[in-house]
Amino acid sequence: IYLPFTYKYKNGLFQEISLLDLSPDHKLNLIQTILNDFSYSTSTDEVVLNSAYMERKYIYNENAKQVTRKKIIVTGHNDNSDILNEHENWLLSLNDDGTPRDLTSYFYKEINFENERLKIEQEISIKQISNENILNTPFSIHSNAYLKTKTNNHLQNDEEFYINESNFNTSLVEFDNQPDLETAFYLGQYLAQQGSKFIKQLLMDEKTSDSLHSSIIFALERSKSVEAEYILAELAQDHSLAENDRLRAIMSISKMGETNSSNALLTLQSLLNDENILIANTAMLNIGILGTQTEQLGEEVINILKHALENTQDKYFTLSAIYNLKTDQLTDDVSAYINSAHPEERKLAAKILARNTPSVTKLIEQLSIEKNPTVINTITESLIQNQEIKLTQAQANLVKEKILQESVNSIIGLSYLKLFMKATAYNEENVSFIERLKSDHSLSEDTRNLITQWIENN
C-alpha cells in the first residue's frame, strides 16, 4: 500500500501538508511531524514548529551542506510538567540544490510530570530513497479516506467481544509489550467484569511481572467503568498488596475523568492518614489531579485542600496538589507561602500565583528580595508562561536593576532578561536599555542572539 500526500516546499520548509483525508486516528499522521522536523530555514530569523503539546522556535545554521539548529524558546500547552534536563543533537544533510538529503536526530528529556520523573528518548533517522522508488500516482483529495484504523474497525463491529477468557492472557502480554489505548479499554472492561478477587490473584501471583502489574492497573483506569473505579479504590486501600501496586491504583483512580465519582475522592481522602507516608503524600497529590480531571468534584476538592493547607504541618504536598488542581480559587490561601522559609514551598507558591495575573505584584515584590537562584528562576519562568502578564514601567525598572546586578550571561541574569523582553512594553526607554546591553562585548552568543531577535521582532 502506498500513501499519497501533498505539500509545498519553499526555502527549506515543508508547508501545507495534506494527508488527503487520512483518518485523524491513523498512525501515519506521523508524517506531518516528520516533515516538520525535516524542515529548516536560514532565510528567516526563526522557525516555529507547532504540535498539540508545545510550540518550539529554532534558529538554523548552514555550513558545508550541513544544517544544525538551536532551540531558542519552547512554550508548552500542558503546564503539568517541569523540564529537569534536556538536550538534542540534530543534523540535516543537504543535496547540492539545497533540498534535504538525510537527517539524524537524537533527543533526550527528563520531566517531572504530575510528580513522576519521566525520561523521554527519541531517535530519528531519515534517508533519501533511490529514484526508482519514486512513484507518480494519480490522487484525489480523498485518496486516503478508505484506510481504516484499528479503532474504526472495532466500532463497526460492536457485537465482537474483543477480550474473553480464551484470549485474555495472550492479549495482556501483547498489550504489555506494545500498549495502545484501545486495547487498554477492552482489557480494562474485561478485568472490571471479573472483579477485585480475580485482579488481586493476578497481582499476588509471583509469575506476574511488575510490568504486567502496571498494565493491569492502567487498563482498569482506561476502561472508564464504574466497576473499575471501585476495584481501584479497593486496591489502593489494601495493605496486603505491594506498595507499588497501591501507588499505581491511587494514580489511576484520579484519572478516570467523567467516570469518577465521590467514591474516588473519599478513597484518596481516607489515605491521607495512611501509616505509609509515601501512600499518604501520593494520595494528596492526586486529589489535586482528580479535581482537574473531574469537574463535578471541583468544589469538594478545593475545600479539602483549603482545610489541609490550614491544618497540616507539611505544606509542600498540599501546595503541590493545589498546583495540580489549576485553580485560582485558592490564590489568597497560597499567597502567604511566597514568603515561606522553605525554598521549595516558595517555588510552588510562585507557580500557582503566576497563573493569576493580579498576583504579579506579589511576585515582583518577592523578586526584589529573593536570594535563592532556583526560586528566582522559577518565579521568572512562571511569569513568562502567563501570556497575559504585562509589567508596569516601575516593575520593568526593578527587573532592569536585577539584570544589571547580575551578569547577564549568568543563568539568573538571563532569566531576568527573558522576563523583561517577554512582559514589558516596547517603548523608547526599554529599547534603549536593551540596545545598551547589546553593546556589551562580553555578551555570550546565545544572549546576543536573544537580544537581536527581540529587537528585530518588535
Q: What is the pLDDT of residue 131?
A: 57
173: how many CB neighbours lie within 10 A of its CB?
Answer: 13
Residue 207 CB partners (closer than 8 Å, separation 6+): none
CA distance 328 to 358: 11
Going by C-alpha positions, the residue among 322, 337, 237 that lies closest to residue 284 is 322
Residue 165 has pLDDT above 80, yes or no: yes
Where do we find the cell 509489550?
Answer: 177
Judge whether residue 350 has pLDDT over 50.
yes
Q: 79 vs 184, which has greater pLDDT?
A: 184
- Determine the Cα–Cα distance for residues 345 and 69; give it in Å rounded to an integer: 37
Treating both helix axes as pointing N-terminal to C-terminal, what angle do 277-293 and 316-325 enclose, rounded to 10 degrees? 20
Q: Is the pTM of this model over 0.85?
A: no
Residue 16 burial (CB < 10 Å; 0-12/13-18/19+)? exposed
And the C-alpha cell for 143? 485518496
Residue 157: what pLDDT? Answer: 47
Q: What are phi and psi of 387, to 5 degrees?
A: -65, -20
Q: Which three cell numbers stand for residue 249?
A: 491504583
* Predicted confidence (pLDDT) per residue in 188-231, tens digit: 999 999 999 999 999 999 999 999 999 999 999 999 899 999 99
Interval 298-346: pLDDT, tens = 999 999 999 999 988 889 999 999 999 988 899 999 999 999 999 999 9
CA–CA gap between residue 252 and residue 221 (Å, rounded): 5
Question: What pLDDT score does 238 carry?
Answer: 97
pLDDT band for 361, please (50, 70, 90 cuts). very high
pLDDT digits (tens, 9 = 90+) for 225-273: 999 999 999 999 999 999 999 999 999 999 998 889 999 999 999 999 9
* Count of beta carbons in the 10 Å neighbourhood of residue 97: 5
Single-letter amino acid code for the residue at 258: E
What's the pLDDT score for residue 227? 95
Question: CA 288, CA 379: separation in Å to the nearest integer?
Answer: 21
CA 144 to chain centre: 31
Half-sphere exposure of 308 (CA within 13 A, CB side): 26
Residue 76 has pLDDT above 60, yes or no: no
Measured CA distances, 52 to 25, 78, 190 (Å): 14, 9, 32
C-alpha cell at 210: 511488575
Instruction: Please report which confidence band the pLDDT of residue 148 belongs to, taking 50, 70 and 90 as the band edges.
Output: low
CB atoms within 10 A of CB 27: 11
More confident residue, 89 or 348: 348
pLDDT-based confidence at residue 153 (cuts at 50, 70, 90): very low
Report the alpha-carbon distance of residue 205 to residue 302 in Å, rounded.
39
Closest CA to 223 of 258, 180, 184, 167: 184
Q: How is residue 270 written as a grid cell?
A: 481516607
What's the CA gap between 96 and 275, in Å, rounded?
Answer: 68
Q: Which residues pair with 112 in a beta bridge?
A: 82, 117
Residue 154 pLDDT exceeds 70: no
| Three-class DSSP labels, the chain | CCCCCEEEEECCEEEEEECCCCCCCCHHHHHHHHHHHCCCCCCCCCEEEECCCEEEEEEEEEECCEEEEEEEEEEECCCCEEEEEEEEEEEEEECCCCCEEEEEEEEEEEEEECCEEEEEEEEEEECCCCHHHCCCCCCCCCCCCCCCCHHHHHHCCCCCCCCCCCCHHHHHHHHHHCCCHHHHHHHHHHHHHHCHHHHHHHHHCCCCCHHHHHHHHHHHHHCCCHHHHHHHHHHHHCCCCCHHHHHHHHHHHCCCHHHCCHHHHHHHHHHHHCCCHHHHHHHHHHHHHHHHHCHHHHHHHHHHHHHHHHHCCCCHHHHHHHHHHCCCCCHHHHHHHHHCCCHHHHHHHHHHHHCCHHHHHHHHHHHHHCCCHHHHHHHHHHHHHCCCCCCCHHHHHHHHHHHHHCCCCCHHHHHHHHHHHHHCCCCHHHHHHHHHHHCCCCCCHHHHHHHHHHHHHC
Q: What grid cell was written down for 277?
A: 507516608
Quick check: 31 pLDDT over 50? Answer: yes
Residue 21 region by backbone torsions, left for phi larger than 0, else alpha for psi between -120 and 50, else beta: left
